[in-house]
Structures are given as C-alpha cells and as structure tokens.
Amino acid sequence: MYGEIIGDIAGSENQANSGGKNKLFSEECHYSEHTVMTFAVARAILLSREERYDKRDSGRSFCEILNEQMNSAETKGGFFAGSNGRKLSKNGREIAAIVSPCAIAAISMREAQALAAASASAARVSSEEIKEAEAVASAILMAKFCRTKEEIKKYISSHYFPLDDHLKDFRSEFGPNSIHNLVRQAIIVFLESDSFIDSIKKAASMEEDPHTIAAITGSIAFTYYAFESGAEFDKNWLDPATRRAIEQAKLRMPQAYIDAEAAFCDVSGRRAGTFSRTGFCTPILTDQEVQEYAHRDNEEDFSDEMSKLIIP
C-alpha cells in the first residue's frame, strides 16, 4: 500500500505549487483523502473476510462494510479520528486511486477486478468509472505476478482502453480533464518509468491533479518494481531510495495507519499462503457479490501462480 501512500503525499505539494520536483517530499507534503479512503477499502476487506469466516453469507456484505468505513472516514470517526484527508468526492478518478488493497489481497485476476468493481459500486460511480478502477487493480495484480510492462500494457489496452500515447504527449498537449484521460496518464507514467522513485517524480510533476495521478502510478509501480527481480518479497530488499521514501512517508502518517498497513499485508500474505497450500482461502465477497461483480469470462486469473508469492 505504500506505493499509493507515497504517490499521494509526493503529489500533494504540486497540488498547490506547479512545476517540476527536484526532491520527492517537501515540508508541505501531506497525505490526502486518497490515503484515508485506501485504508477504508483495506479495513473493509479485512472485516469482510472475518465476516465470511464467521458467518459465511449470512453476515454483512463487503459493500455494506465498505460503506460504513467510508462514512466513518468522511466523518473522521473511530479509526479515522484525526485524519487530515478532506472528504472524498467519490468520483471515478478518486476511486481508481484507492483500489490497491483489492489487488494486494486478491488471489486471482477475477477476485481483484470483482473487489475493485464492488468498491467503486459502493461509492456509486458510473459504469465507466468502475472500469477505470478495475483497470488499475488489474495492472497492480499483473505486477504482483511479475508480468512485464509490455504484458500489462497489452492486457489493459485489450480489455479497457488504449495506451498508445506517451508522457511527452500529455505534457505538450494536455487534453480535457476527463477521468479516462487521467487514469490513462497514470498508467502511461508507470510504463515509461525507470524505477519506483522515477515514476513518482514523473507523476507528481504532471499539470493536472498530480496527487491523484501519483497515487495511481505509485500503487502500480511499487508492486512492479518490488517483484521485478522475483516472486519473493521483503521490504528490506527494496532499493535504498524506496526504503527512504517509505520512512519519510511514515513520518507524515498516524501510527494507526502504519500499524494497519502492516496488519493488512500480513493477513494478505497469510491468505495467499493458505491458498497456495490448500487451493482455497476465506472469501471476501459474498456469493451474491461475486455473481454481481466478477467477470465470468476472465481467462487470466493467474491463481495457479499464487504459490510463488509472498505478498508485500
């Protein structure tokens, strides 16, 4: 989840001060509603998993739990008390920026997309905006399964929208401020990056809504570069610049968020381990939600590769 968090924080400074970024963080950098709502999604995933384990389909659904968490985040109640994020406007661009937990927790492409679609639907966005959220979750999941940039580009282009533009095109001719354009920009920035830090710097220097672009780009790039050298993952194996960025991000986050990120990744890793050993793990969505949000014709679930992974 640190990819989204670091991107959100790094891009926030450029929200108020346009121009390029020589360093990743400034004194003015802070996390925003994207990080707050990312934790709302992560908490909903954990709580829904517990609900399925204890009560199966008789308990509250994932969407019901997520709505509770989002409402709590907006009113800054409970876990979210004292958060500095402003209220989520619940438009497609923001939903696409907060779905990284869906891919981190998922054991298949089908589940990642279904969780992203359910998250977006809970926020009551349009069908086109649901696809944007699915596209981002798909890219993160493919990065988690060590797919190449070319494979990620091909999949997103064939299932969601073309990625034929280049970063220089967006800088020279910035088009209408459409959600579709914004999410495409974020993915293209990732595709043209050389490292995680390079991706964040490129995204945070974009002209329009840089903290949203950087949050989306960061969520994909962190996973991609973390798994680039192999399927096993340990934060200590990250390059020094990325490790420094994580430590700097922690200085700007409440301790409750730091602890929650660690707990979420621990549960996601144990869930993946259970699946790799038994071929089954506790579901997150109810059966009805699976029927509503999962793509029946998805042939690329990658679930056979889960046994290779240790999830970040």
Alpha-carbon distance 280 to 107, whole Å?
A: 10
Global pTM reads 0.90
Within 8 A by CB and 6+ apart from 48, the residues are 60, 61, 62, 65, 66, 284, 285
Taking only the tens place, the pLDDT of each residue in 43-95 is 999 999 999 999 988 899 999 999 999 988 877 777 787 666 555 555 556 78
The answer to which of 2-11, 86-95, 245-254 has the lowest mean pLDDT is 86-95
Q: Provide the pLDDT for residue 232.
A: 57
Range of the domain at 7: 2-308
Which candidate, 262, 185, 261, 249, places its Cα nearest to that of 216? 185
pLDDT band at 311 (very low <50, low <70, confident <90, very high): very low
Q: Provide the pLDDT for residue 20.
A: 47
Alpha-carbon distance 247 to 262, whole Å?
A: 14
Q: Provide the pLDDT for residue 82.
A: 65
Which candidate, 312, 130, 145, places its Cα nearest to that of 233? 312
Q: Provide the pLDDT for residue 110.
A: 95
Alpha-carbon distance 212 to 218, whole Å?
A: 10
Taking only the tens place, the pLDDT of each residue in 28-38 is 888 988 999 99
Q: How many domains does the chain have?
A: 1
Asked if residue 190 lies in contact with residue 163, where contact means CB atoms within 8 angstroms, the answer is no
pLDDT band at 294 (very low <50, low <70, confident <90, very high): very high
- Does residue 246 register a pLDDT over 70? yes
Within 8 A by CB and 6+ apart from 270, the residues are none
Taking only the tens place, the pLDDT of each residue in 123-135 is 777 888 899 999 9
Token pair, residue 68, equals 């509770």
Taking only the tens place, the pLDDT of each residue in 151-165 is 999 999 999 999 988
- Does residue 182 register a pLDDT over 80? yes
Q: How many CB atoms lie within 10 A of CB 15?
A: 16
pLDDT band at 209 (very low <50, low <70, confident <90, very high): confident
Question: Whole-number mean pLDDT of the chain?
Answer: 85
Alpha-carbon distance 219 to 222, whole Å?
A: 6
Q: What is the CATH number of the domain that holds 137?
A: 1.10.4080.10
Token pair, residue 252, equals 């700007």
